[in-house]
């Protein structure tokens, strides 16, 4: 049996790509927010897209600096992800408030988040029309990193009981990959 999904809830069908933490820095201020709507756009040169709402403080830092980082939180960072996704850095230093450890990137000034499983250092490709109309940002990936116990030449290895990326279902709920499937030729 199929149920009809209300159009305004249709995004939930696609929502569970890895949730990310977006960090940006400018003029001595850095900030962090949760972003579920991030996806790969191209391989060479590598590009990603993000949807970043106009009222987020992180967006103002991204726009001014032209840079940002994506950190992929692990199953141990669900509460942190919700905390930075439900508070604004306009008036608070979320790094201090939530005791978030960071390390420097190799190409950009935005900090990368410790304890995450993957990281991308990105440079915004200005696209004023789609940014203004759809809050959609395109960026080139300048450098990428991953936790070596979980990521190798063929990509992620996820196993039950090991940390993994988290995937937002909606509200405070996430799912996570607990295994691998290898397809074969039919
Ligand atoms: C799990 C989760 C996913 C989110 N995904 C997005 C997203 O894709 N795009 C967005 O603009 N905001 C998203 N948000 C909301 C922002 O993280 C939130 O507005 C945040 O407070 C902005 O912080 P800032 O004003 O300090 O930049 C998400 C929040 C949560 C909890």
Show pLDDT as tens, one digit a residue, over the chain (186 residues).
988 998 888 888 888 899 999 999 999 999 999 999 999 999 999 999 999 999 999 999 999 999 999 999 999 999 999 999 999 999 999 999 999 999 999 999 999 999 999 999 999 999 999 999 999 999 999 999 999 999 998 899 999 999 999 999 999 999 999 999 999 999
Pocket perturbation via mutation, ligand 1, pick of 35, 68, 173 by most ligand atoms within 8 A of CB: 35
Q: Specify the length of the chain in residues.
A: 186
Which atom of ligand 1 is closest in space to residue 56's alpha carbon?
A: 25
Q: Are strands 29-35 and 20-26 parallel, antiparallel or unpaired?
A: antiparallel
Q: Look-up: residue for tokens 């405070």? A: 172
Which run of H or of E encompasses 174? strand 173-175
> Ligand 1 pocket: which residues have CB below 6 Å?
19, 31, 33-37, 51-53, 56-58, 81-82, 85-90, 168
| d(C-alpha 81, C-alpha 72), whole Å | 10
| d(C-alpha 22, C-alpha 70), whole Å | 5
Q: How close is the Cα of 42 to the center of ligand 1, in Å? A: 24
Q: Are 111 and 61 in contact (CB under 8 A)?
A: no
Q: Output the CA torsion 123→107→154→152 (10° steps).
A: -150
Q: Is 155 helix (H, G, I), strand (E, B) or coil?
A: strand
Which atom of ligand 1 is closest in space to residue 87's alpha carbon?
A: 21
């Amino acid at each position: 049996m199929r149920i009809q999904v209300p159009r305004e809830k249709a995004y939930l069908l696609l929502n569970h790509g890895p949730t990310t933490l977006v960090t940006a820095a400018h003029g001595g201020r850095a900030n962090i927010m949760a972003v579920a709507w991030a996806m790969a756009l191209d391989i060479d040169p590598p590009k990603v897209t993000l949807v970043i709402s106009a009222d987020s403080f992180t967006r103002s830092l991204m726009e001014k600096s032209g840079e940002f980082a994506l950190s992929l939180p692990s199953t141990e960072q669900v509460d942190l992800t919700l905390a930075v996704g439900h508070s604004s850095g306009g008036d608070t230093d979320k790094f201090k408030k939530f005791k978030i450890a960071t390390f420097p990137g190799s190409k950009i000034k935005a900090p990368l988040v410790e304890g995450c499983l993957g990281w991308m250092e990105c440079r915004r490709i200005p696209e004023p029309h789609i940014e203004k109309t759809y809050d959609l940002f395109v960026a080139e990936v300048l450098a990428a990193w991953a936790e070596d116990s979980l990521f190798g030449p063929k990509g992620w290895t996820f196993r039950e009981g090991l940390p993994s990326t988290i995937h937002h279902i909606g509200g405070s709920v996430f799912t996570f990959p607990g295994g691998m499937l290898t397809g074969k030729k039919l």
